Amino acid sequence: MIPLLHDFEGETVLVFGGGRVGARKARRFAREARVVVVSPEFAEVDGDGDGEAEGDGGTDASRADFGDAELVREAPGPDDVPDWFDRTDPALVVAATDSDELNERIETTARDRGVLVNRADQHGERDAGSVVVPATVRDDPVVAAVATGGASPALSRYLRQTIETEIDDAGAMAELTGEIRAELQAEDVEPAVRREAVRAVVRSDAVWKALDSGVPNGRQVAADVISDVTGENA
């Protein structure tokens, strides 16, 4: 499988299944997309972990467990699936019910209509075109993701927690180096020098420390690093 990032802004994600997995997927996608969850009941969720978890079932719970998703209390059968596609026009559908027959019909309908599909009841090898929702870590605009193809959700969660400690201030660094790169381009700095300068900022412990402490002179520290590079290449 090849990882990709997909922009779901303005799109609809349709989730079949109101258990722990359905709730977790709904919360994830509701950060960006309109999410509709269809299930006869909705489970309480402990909120532990994100991505690649399996299993379903549960009892009634509050809407907050599903983020800002729209909860529709219905019990669709396989023959009802196409109608739900017509009603919501989803960009992605999640099959997270405890019925193999229903999940199979959801997947088949999605493929027939060219819709992305994530089956939460499958482990290991996936059919071509399947979508796996990875465990993610965010420090906007930086996003790091890890997946095991659904084989080991526990490992995904462990690696996600490990990565969290490694990308502190990565978002601030991304914004800083993005601004620096644009400024150097505007100043017609040679591409090779520009690349070296940005790499030097990214690798500078002094810049990272300034960003971590929130010191306002972080930009000045980066400027000093750039001066050293451009001076050496002048």
How high is the pLDDT of residue 135?
85
Q: Which residues contact 14 (CB under 8 A, 6 or more apart)?
A: 35, 36, 38, 84, 85, 88, 90, 92, 93, 94
How high is the pLDDT of residue 62?
45
How high is the pLDDT of residue 234?
37
Identify the residue whose tokens are 């400027």: 223
How high is the pLDDT of residue 208?
93
Instruction: Give pLDDT tens digits for 141-177.
Output: 999 988 887 778 889 889 999 998 888 899 999 999 9
Asked if residues 36 and 69 have their Cβ atoms less than 8 Å apart, the reply is: yes
Task: Classify domain 12-133 at the CATH topology level.
Answer: Rossmann fold (3.40.50)
How high is the pLDDT of residue 122?
72
What is the C-alpha to C-alpha distance for residues 79 and 109, in angstroms, rounded to an integer? 10
Identify the residue whose tokens are 């229903």: 102
Can you spell out the DSSP letters for 66-116? GTTPEEEE----GGGHHHHHHHH--SEEEE--S-HHHHHHHHHHHHHTT-E
What is the C-alpha to C-alpha distance for residues 210 and 217, in angstroms, rounded to an integer? 7
First vs last C-alpha separation in the chain: 45
How high is the pLDDT of residue 212?
87
Query: Where are the chain's structural domains?
Result: 12-133, 170-233
Give the mean pLDDT per block of 10 residues along the chain (234 residues). 88 96 93 96 61 39 72 96 98 96 96 93 64 87 86 87 89 94 94 95 94 80 91 52
Identify the residue whose tokens are 């070296």: 196
Predicted TM-score of the model (pTM): 0.75
Provide the 3-class DSSP secondary structure of residue 146.
strand
| 130 secondary structure, DSSP code | B
Name the pairing type of β-strands 142-146 and 135-139.
antiparallel
Cβ neighbourhood burial of 219 (10 Å; 0-12, 13-18, 19+): middle
Q: Which residues contact 147 (CB under 8 A, 6 or more apart)?
A: 1, 3, 51, 52, 132, 134, 135, 156
